[in-house]
Amino acid sequence: MKRRLRGLARIAAVPVVILCALVGTAAVAHATTLSGVVTDSRHRPLAGVFVTARNVGMKMSVSVLSDGKGRYSITNLFPGRYELDAHRIGYRSADVKDFHLTQFPARKSFRLVKTPDIAAQMPASAWLHSLPPGPYKADFLSDCTVCHQIGDAATRGPRTADQWTAVAQSMIANPFIYGGMTKGVDAKKLGQWLAANGFGPGQEHRFAPPAPASGAAARVVINQYDVGGPNVAAHDMAVEPRTGMAWVDDFFADLLVRISPLNNAQKVYRVPIKKSGIHTIGFDRRGMLWGTLLLGDSVVRFDPRTGKFKVYKGFKKGSATHSFPIDRFGYVEFDHQGRLWITELFGNAVASLDPKTGVVKEYHSPSDRGHPYGIAIDNEGRVWYAKYASNIIGAINPENGAITERELPHKHSCVHRITIDAHDRIWTPDDGYSALVMYDIGKNAFKSYPLPDADSSPYAARVDGVTGDIWVNGSGADAIYKFDPATEEFTTYRLPLLVSYTRMVSIDYSTGDVWTSLSNLPNGQTGRSHTEVVRLHFPASARERAAVPSIAKAANTVSRR
Ligand code: HEC
């Protein structure tokens, strides 16, 4: 009950935040509304249609879903030039190229016509689902979906067995970290397997359109902000706790970008080492941003107030500094001695960094399979890590350096970026089997929950310390999932754009908004000339809003005692 009240208390706080934004900015004081109805070719209301209004000048968009009566409404829009678009899988999308929005509320309705050819509209996960299940597939998923989706015409084929083999060989020979990172699929076997199972010439893919979103998932408001150019390699993103600014890094261009959620105003900072591959980012409780430089074997601390970087070297060359722990309230987490722990992707080790002295100490994994990847600290202060391209998780006692490792029950499971909740349960996506796996540290017990979409290539898990919910990326399914550990139920939030490969989840704890970045690498496969940082906002239902006054009453009762 307490957990639910805290969730609702946060809902109660939301209007205040919006109000401040309205009062503080003259332009938004004229915010306007666009609404209308979506129908099918026979004038029947159509639910679950994404209506997107894209502000051309500000390069940002808002998407909402039509309700059971086909109605939609987008509020808080700046007057200006817009592109409008209405789409739902199974229908041809309808768009308006140039829509001028004044300060007066406007209406625009859409009629969508069914299309029988929906294969091109379906996410990568649906295509991959046509491949036969089994250990071979689990290994293919972890080897071939960690950088990009098999999600567009160029990556899906059709190709002959030889052509698939050639592509797989070129991926394995790719100098950019591929060879070292995965389990190492056999290119020839893979080529034959893909060509024989739906990805060869002349093979047809038949899909049933998914059911439209309903309940909380249908009320989501999704903001998207364009960032970078055609070759952008957005990796992680983090919301800055004090300011609500969204920060995203560019792995190839060595950049940090600060984005204002209000108007997409951006400020760009250059990492001081070239070709250093900025990867994981997060804020500490003092407001400093920390980042790992994966290709530069170092860690940076960046002060957003001065724009200055401090670089921590001292890691072995080629160790590939990957991730550090982020606690359940979104802050970078240090151990009891103030040290930061970092996984080394290619060092087969986890390192501690003492920011006061700059001293780095390496702790080697006792197993040779997999690559240290996700990392988190439990309530006892133990440092947990997950080894990508394996089913292994391990724990380090930071006091004496003792290491123990254990394996997920499925040998072909693939662990990713982990999170630890208040009850010392580790949550990790299982890329091989499209599942969310929970490991209860105290009970030494695993439980696996299949994600709502099969073959969804999940990437990261992140606990919301206020609600207890676990967020997981469906990187190959153009979706984000919320898992409620109390009810063991998932809610699926679909994203409006095809090839929405999401990589990291960051929570704005003042609003409950969930942020992520689109991170298909290479970006060119998305067909877009930029990438997008995404915010999911969850308006309360009428019932939840009605419950808020009773929380205030309950709080008064408590304080009077
Ligand atoms: C380390 C990141 C990475 C991994 C892992 C990876 N790819 Fe790629 N993939 C890329 C990049 C970068 C490109 C674009 C550059 C290129 O075409 O070489 C690409 C392009 C492709 C293309 C399009 C090629 C074309 O002709 O346009 C296909 C198909 C593909 N990958 C399939 C795969 C398969 C199958 C695997 C698993 C064996 C895989 N990828 C693993 C990074 C990766």
Q: What is the pLDDT of residue 26?
A: 42
Q: What is the pLDDT of residue 559?
A: 38
Q: What is the pLDDT of residue 177?
A: 58
* Phi-psi group of 513: left, alpha or beta (phi > 0 → left; psi -120 to 50 → alpha; rest → beta): beta
Ligand 1 atom 37, closest CA? 144
Task: In whole angstroms, give the CA distance from residue 380 to residue 487.
Answer: 27
Task: In whole angstroms, give the CA distance from residue 339 to residue 355.
Answer: 7
Helices and strands, counts by H and E, the chain: 9, 36
Ligand 1 pocket residue status of 208, Cβ below 6 Å: no
Residue 162: in which H helix or E strand, if any?
A: helix 161-173
Residue pair 520/234 in contact (Cβ under 8 Å)? The answer is no
Ligand 1 pocket residue status of 294, Cβ below 6 Å: no
Ligand 1 atom 36, closest CA? 144
What confidence tier does 424 reach under pLDDT thresholds 50, 70, 90? Answer: very high
For 237, half-sphere exposure in the C-beta direction (CA atoms, 13 angstrom radius) is 31
With residues binned 3-state (H G I as helix, E B as strand, rest as coil), the percentages for the chain, rounded to 5, are 20, 40, 45
Atom of ligand 1 nearest to the CA of 177: 1
Task: In whole angstroms, give the CA distance from residue 237 to residue 246.
Answer: 7
* Phi-psi group of 281: left, alpha or beta (phi > 0 → left; psi -120 to 50 → alpha; rest → beta): beta
Q: What is the pLDDT of residue 12?
A: 40
Residue pair 209/90 in contact (Cβ under 8 Å)? The answer is yes
Residue pair 478/455 in contact (Cβ under 8 Å)? The answer is no
For the stretch 271-294, pLDDT in tens is: 999 999 999 999 999 999 999 999
Average pLDDT of the segment spanning 428-443: 97
pLDDT over 70 at 178, yes or no: no
What confidence tier does 561 reach under pLDDT thresholds 50, 70, 90? Answer: very low
Ligand 1 pocket residue status of 167, Cβ below 6 Å: yes
Q: What is the pLDDT of residue 548?
A: 66
For the stretch 69-125, pLDDT in tens is: 999 999 999 999 999 999 999 999 999 999 999 999 999 999 999 998 899 999 999
Average pLDDT of the segment spanning 239-244: 96
Q: What is the pLDDT of residue 138?
A: 93
Ligand 1 pocket residue status of 144, Cβ below 6 Å: yes
Q: Which of 97-111, 226-240, 529-543 shows the lowest per-residue confidence on average (mean pLDDT)?
A: 529-543
Upstream peptide bond of 261 is cis (omega within 30 degrees of 0): no
Residue pair 323/309 in contact (Cβ under 8 Å)? The answer is no
Upstream peptide bond of 539 is cis (omega within 30 degrees of 0): no
Instruction: Kindly give the interhelix angle for 187-194 and 161-173, rounded to the nearest 10 degrees.
Output: 140
Q: Ligand 1 mean position to 44 CA, how many Å?
A: 43
What confidence tier does 29 reach under pLDDT thresholds 50, 70, 90? Answer: low
Give me the sign of the Cα torsion angle 163, 164, 168, 169. Answer: negative
The CA-CA-CA angle for residues 60, 66, 71, to 5°, reads 110
Task: In whole angstroms, give the CA distance from residue 479 to residue 471.
Answer: 11
Q: What is the pLDDT of residue 179?
A: 55
Bridge pairing between strands 278-283 and 289-293: antiparallel
Q: What is the pLDDT of residue 545?
A: 76
Residue pair 474/457 in contact (Cβ under 8 Å)? The answer is yes
pLDDT over 50 at 552, yes or no: no
Residue 95, CA distances (Å) to 46, 55, 82, 111, 115 in order? 16, 14, 11, 10, 16
Q: What is the pLDDT of residue 479?
A: 97
Ligand 1 pocket residue status of 426, Cβ below 6 Å: no
The count of other CB atoms within 10 Å of the CB of residue 104 is 9
Q: What is the pLDDT of residue 549?
A: 59
Residue pair 515/502 in contact (Cβ under 8 Å)? The answer is no
Average pLDDT of the segment spanning 426-432: 97
Task: In whole angstroms, give the CA distance from residue 264 to residue 259.
Answer: 6
Ligand 1 binding pocket mutation candidate from 145, 171, 232 (most atoms within 8 A of CB): 171
Q: Ligand 1 mean position to 264 CA, how many Å?
A: 31
Residue 440, CA distances (Å) to 59, 378, 419 in order? 44, 11, 12
Q: What is the pLDDT of residue 117?
A: 86
Ligand 1 binding pocket mutation candidate from 148, 186, 199 (most atoms within 8 A of CB): 148
Task: In whole angstroms, give the CA distance from residue 322 to residue 505.
Answer: 16
For the stretch 354-377, pLDDT in tens is: 999 999 999 999 999 999 999 999
The count of other CB atoms within 10 Å of the CB of residue 438 is 21
What confidence tier does 216 reach under pLDDT thresholds 50, 70, 90? Answer: very high
Ligand 1 pocket residue status of 184, Cβ below 6 Å: no
Tokens 């430089």 sit on residue: 293
Average pLDDT of the segment spanning 62-66: 98
Q: Ligand 1 mean position to 375 CA, how many Å?
A: 27
Calculate Rg over the CA atoms of the chain.
23
Ligand 1 atom 11, closest CA? 522
Q: Reduced to 3 states, what is the DSSP secondary structure of residue 70?
A: coil
Residue pair 492/355 in contact (Cβ under 8 Å)? The answer is no
For the stretch 137-168, pLDDT in tens is: 999 999 999 999 998 888 998 999 999 999 99
pLDDT over 80 at 10, yes or no: no
For the stretch 252-269, pLDDT in tens is: 999 999 999 999 999 999
Q: What is the pLDDT of residue 554?
A: 47
Residue 179: in which H helix or E strand, if any?
A: helix 178-181
pLDDT over 50 at 20, yes or no: no
Tokens 């009428």 sit on residue: 542
Bridge pairing between strands 298-303 and 289-293: antiparallel
Q: Ligand 1 mean position to 128 CA, how many Å?
A: 15
- Residue 316 token pair: 């072995």
Q: What is the pLDDT of residue 234?
A: 97
Ligand 1 pocket residue status of 185, Cβ below 6 Å: yes
Residue pair 18/31 in contact (Cβ under 8 Å)? The answer is no
What residues form DSSP beta bridges with 392? 407
Ligand 1 atom 42, closest CA? 147
DSSP string, 247-295: EEEETTTTEEEEE-TTT--EEEEE-SSTT--EEEEEE-TTS-EEEEETT
Give the whole-number percent of the chain exceeding pLDDT 70. Answer: 91
Atom of ligand 1 nearest to the CA of 185: 38
The CA-CA-CA angle for residues 28, 34, 37, to 5°, reads 160
Average pLDDT of the segment spanning 389-412: 97
Q: Which of 463-467, 471-475, 541-545 shows the lowest per-residue confidence on average (mean pLDDT)?
A: 541-545
Ligand 1 atom 27, closest CA? 154
Higher confidence at residue 30 or residue 283?
283
pLDDT over 70 at 390, yes or no: yes
